[in-house]
Amino acid sequence: MLNLGRVFLILTLFINLTFSKVSLTLDTPVVYEGNLAQFSIVADGNRVKFPDIDEVGGYAILGTSSSQNISIINGAKSKTVSKIYAFKPLKSIEIPSFEVLVDGKLYKTEPANLEVVKQTPNKTGDEFIVELRTNKNKLILGDHLKLDVVFKIRADVKFDKFDYEFPKIEHFLVKQLNDVKNSSENGYITQTISFLLFPQQAGSYEISPLKAYFGNTQKDQFSDPFFSSFFGNIKWKDTISNSLNLEVLPLPGNVQNFGKFSINATVDKTKVNANEPVNLTLKINGDGNIEDIKKFDLKIDNTLIYPNNPEIKNYLNNGLYGGEFLQKFAIVSDRNFTIPAINFSYFDKDLNSTKTISSQEIKIEVLNSNLQNLPQTQSSPKILVSDELKSDNLNEIKDENLSNLKTKISKKYLILTFILGFILGIISMILFSKINFKREKKQKPIIEKLKAAKSDKELFDLLLPYIKTSKFIDEILALLEENLYKNASNKIDKRKIIEYFLNI
């Protein structure tokens, strides 16, 4: 009896699992590679527990949604519950059997085969067409090309929603242009979206087929936002474009820029007091890969140079991409110096060869430099004496000269000397008081400006003219330089700086 009971239990379980009240159905048995696929598990029962499915055939489940239907026939109530699973397969797979618990009993679904095929590019006559077009297929590194994505909708076809994949090309920088062109062509309504493609390295590349989606609104069966967007209230149709091949040639001549450029360097002044900054502005304008111009570093003997980071503006003018490169420098010195010509080399698109352009050199005159007031050593006048001159004759000459000198000194000369000394003393006192007054006048504006300074850059510009005047100022300038040009976070005590200027 025990053995017969076990056989009956196994047989009953087998019948429940085999002849189940659950089923698995595919939305479609064939899908395009990378497109959204979905399958449904449907169960009849009041209490249904669906399996937790994270992936199918190695492809992650992207979303799920559930629904139920209750019907009453001749007083008999029945309930059907379904759950939909969505994923994106890249190859054909078998969806395995899943176990579902219905009203306390375990049931199994039948496995199902899903075929995945490659999608062929659209052709004339299709409802929706996507085309890729470029203005060139071969270009030099540093140049750019224009990619037009043309979406065509047959004139007799209606749609409510539209979406597309953003073009992604390995080793290319892609920038979308703002203008969208609407037109018509051979029975199709067209919409063209344009992109600029900038190659980042030489080589052969393929612009892969781009996929576009056209959708129509359907009655919403699901409350889940994922399914509402993909296949709930929108029924999508997709199509793919053609592909394009590109060849990017390396730039010759060891240069990094391509196009047509001009260069100009200007200063805010050509005469400056010692240790006051001269502000140099370097500009490069033109059509080409302006964003690839590197930061310039200047070296000038006997100067301190503080370079700012470049500012780059770009534009699209009559289909030509270009812009302006601007970099500023603060240059400080205690002597005259010359800003040399600044060179910039690029591959000229018109000459089809490497070209170097240069700015003009600029001479700077430094005023009030201590180097200009250094005392010069003067040689003492030499007295030539003939070898025939006797020593006694020399003594006679000396005595005679001394006698003449004593004769010339008189009371009148002494009084004149006293008066001159008195006048010089009064003049010195007046000059000294004026110098002190001027110093106080100079101190007052710098102190007011220091109090008003709100940034490290303002402090740096105010203190730069005082470089090398004291160790304290040089230390503060060094800290400010680190903050401005090396991303440091040194704390600057402005009160100590003001106290310094009050005490000098």
C-alpha 359/C-alpha 341 separation (Å) is 5
Q: Tell me the pLDDT band of 153, cut-offs 50, 70 and 90.
A: very high
C-alpha 58/C-alpha 80 separation (Å) is 29
* Average pLDDT for 157-169: 86
* 29-43, 242-256, 394-408, range with the lowest pLDDT: 394-408
SS3 state at 104: coil
Supply 121's token pair: 């590019």
| Through-space distance between the first and last CA atoms of the chain, rounded to whole angstroms | 116
Residue 486's pLDDT is 79
Residue 361's pLDDT is 95
| Amino acid, single-letter form, for residue 264 | N
* 115-129, 367-381, 455-469, 486-500, range with the lowest pLDDT: 367-381
Task: Return all residues near 58 (Cβ < 8 A) that are at least 6 apart.
Answer: 93
Supply 86's token pair: 């969505």
Q: How many CA atoms lie within 13 A of 249 on its CB side?
A: 10
Question: Taking the C-alpha atoms of 134, 137, 140 and 142 in order, what is their torsion angle to the nearest 10 degrees?
Answer: 30
Does position 228 have pLDDT exceeding 60, yes or no? no
C-alpha 13/C-alpha 318 separation (Å) is 77
* Overall size of the chain counted in residues: 504
Q: Tell me the pLDDT band of 422, cut-offs 50, 70 and 90.
A: low
Q: Tell me the pLDDT band of 382, cut-offs 50, 70 and 90.
A: very low
Residue 233's pLDDT is 67
* Average pLDDT for 411-416: 59
What kind and span of H or E run contains 82? strand 76-87
Residue 431's pLDDT is 60
- At 230-265, the pLDDT tens digits run 445 677 788 889 999 999 999 887 899 999 999 999
- What domains are defined for the chain? 22-117 (2.60.40.10), 128-249 (2.60.40.10), 258-367 (2.60.40), 445-503 (no CATH)
Does position 122 have pLDDT exceeding 70, yes or no? yes
In angstroms, what is the C-alpha Rg of the chain? Answer: 45
Supply 229's token pair: 């967007």
Q: How many CA atoms lie within 13 A of 77 on its CB side?
A: 2
Cα 109 vs. chain centroid, distance in angstroms? Answer: 54
Q: Are 57 and 93 in contact (CB under 8 A)?
A: yes
Of 395 and 30, the one with more pLDDT: 30
Does position 331 have pLDDT exceeding 50, yes or no? yes
Residue 412's pLDDT is 56
Of 124 and 169, the one with more pLDDT: 169
Does position 40 have pLDDT exceeding 70, yes or no? yes
Residue 415's pLDDT is 65
Q: Tell me the pLDDT band of 441, cut-offs 50, 70 and 90.
A: very low
What are the two backbone dihedrals, phi and then psi, of residue 157, each rounded to the nearest 5 degrees? -105, 135
- Cross-strand pairs, 273: 367
* Average pLDDT for 307-335: 91
Closest CA to 40 of 55, 56, 58, 26: 26
Residue 247's pLDDT is 95
Closest CA to 116 of 69, 181, 161, 58: 58
* Average pLDDT for 343-361: 94
* Average pLDDT for 346-352: 92
What distances in angstroms separate CA 387 from CA 261, 356, 396, one per listed residue?
Answer: 78, 71, 17
Quick one: what percent of the chain has pLDDT higher than 70?
79
Per-residue b/e over 184-210, b at no fewer than 16 CB within 10 Å?
eeeebebebbbbbbbbeeeeebebbbb
SS3 state at 244: strand
- At 265-275, the pLDDT tens digits run 999 999 999 98
What distances in angstroms separate CA 225 from CA 52, 82, 217, 233, 316, one per listed residue?
Answer: 20, 17, 14, 10, 40
C-alpha 35/C-alpha 29 separation (Å) is 13
DSSP letter for 143, please.
Answer: B
pTM of the model: 0.58
* Average pLDDT for 293-313: 93
- At 168-216, the pLDDT tens digits run 888 999 999 888 999 998 889 999 999 999 999 999 999 999 988 888 8
Residue 140's pLDDT is 92
SS3 state at 366: strand
Residue 442's pLDDT is 46
SS3 state at 123: coil
Does position 221 have pLDDT exceeding 90, yes or no? no
495's torsion region: left (phi>0), alpha (psi -120 to 50) or beta?
Answer: alpha
Quick one: what percent of the chain has pLDDT higher than 90?
45
Q: How many CA atoms lie within 13 A of 149 on its CB side?
A: 26
Residue 377's pLDDT is 36
Average pLDDT, the chain: 81
* 103-117, 338-352, 388-402, range with the lowest pLDDT: 388-402
DSSP letter for 139, please.
Answer: E
* 48-52, 95-99, 418-422, range with the lowest pLDDT: 418-422
